[in-house]
Amino acid sequence: MTKKRIELIRRKRNAMEKFLRNDVADLLRNNLDSNAYSRFFLITISIQGYKN
């Protein structure tokens, strides 16, 4: 892959992670703990998939 393509993928992944972290924080603020925990589980799986 070219360097620009790799950088684009990295920025997209970082933006997605930031959005999902904020989403979980909003769920916790609104006392939707079970939804937040399931969303956190999905986030950790997707992050591990990217970093492996």
In total, the chain counts a number of residues equal to: 52
Confidence of residue 49 (pLDDT cuts 50, 70, 90): low
Running DSSP on this structure, what letter comes out for residue 31?
A: T
pLDDT tier at 20, thresholds 50, 70, 90? confident
**pTM summary value:** 0.63
Better-scored residue on pLDDT, 30 or 34? 30
What confidence tens digit (pLDDT) does each residue in 33-42 have? 888 888 888 7
Task: Give me the residue spans of the domains in the chain.
Answer: 3-51
Which residues have a Cβ under 8 Å from the Cβ of 30 and sit 6 or more positions away?
A: none
Residues with Cβ < 8 Å from 13, sequence gap 6 or more? 50
Please report the pLDDT score of residue 51 as a whole number.
57
